[in-house]
Structure 1
């Protein structure tokens, strides 16, 4: 069985990437950047999609640069991700890293540099969607298309979705599998189905749950293994 793992905020700590991206925009506009805590707050990310401008630039028009330019130099994984991925593989699961954002090549390179690329069978992002679908498709729908890969895979091939946002819940619902939301990234801000899904603090906690017998009895409200 396969487990879909989200990238940003789930295994990848993008805080420094995003901060450096915004800081450079402020410097290009001859403005002083706000404190890092402010830039990395969920409210600031929301403002990007509400029309935030820095100098003459609409930030949302340039946000893919966070991955293209800053992931290679500032991208880091959360503590315990490599261990968690190894545990899940040892338990017989196949891991697919699927993101609704861009950066398949950049992500694969980072995983190779960290020595864990082989732990993930597929690394797929919006880059891998057909050209007509790459732009306007909502994240949840994009992830669903990326997961099934044009019919190469079926919903029955998947056991869980692990992520940090409502798009991951949407993906799980479309696949008909439980969703486990981690508290990293912007943190879970969406409701889960009782007796089906769960909150966990991080991917490592999810891996520990999978290592227990009868995972189906581990339900919503789980905080730590």
Structure 2
């Protein structure tokens, strides 16, 4: 039941965000504020839900190596995606998918033995991140001349792929060694950190440079408070 709820919450962000960007009004400053808030929340989730649990179950050197590998893999794939799709909506869709797959794989792993509030913290942070990014990417696709139905279909496919990643992480890794789960968490953390530096914070600053720093702090406070309750 928890698995189903989490998958619905996380993937619905892409669908709701795409619908928002394609059919609704999206002021740039609101978009930037939400993206910065999501970035602040993800900082907490990366540390408390991914890196710290990983470091408790695997040697620190291995954890740091897996984290750096995740960052490098994301950056290499992100580079090739931007070479092919550019920096528009297609590039943002690909970037969300690239860091979303290890994120959701780690989310499925996090469900193994985690409390509801711990899972809610990570799922909530990913939701906050995916919603405005999907809205911005879908809007750029519309501006680039892609039909609304085709753009929404692409985001729906991405949502299905991320949902499958979470389910695979939860079902197929139930009996995996703790060291393996730890390295998966660390790899996902590296991908998320790289996406923060290359996609999330730069976009937030472009859209709302006046309040981006404040919004980041708001997201951090909200996520840390939720984590502390867990």
Normalised to the residue count of structure 1, the TM-score between the two structures is: 0.30
Higher strand share: 1
Max Rg structure:
1
RCO higher in structure (CA 8 A, sep ≥6): 2
Task: Name the structure where helix makes up a greater proportion of residues.
Answer: 2
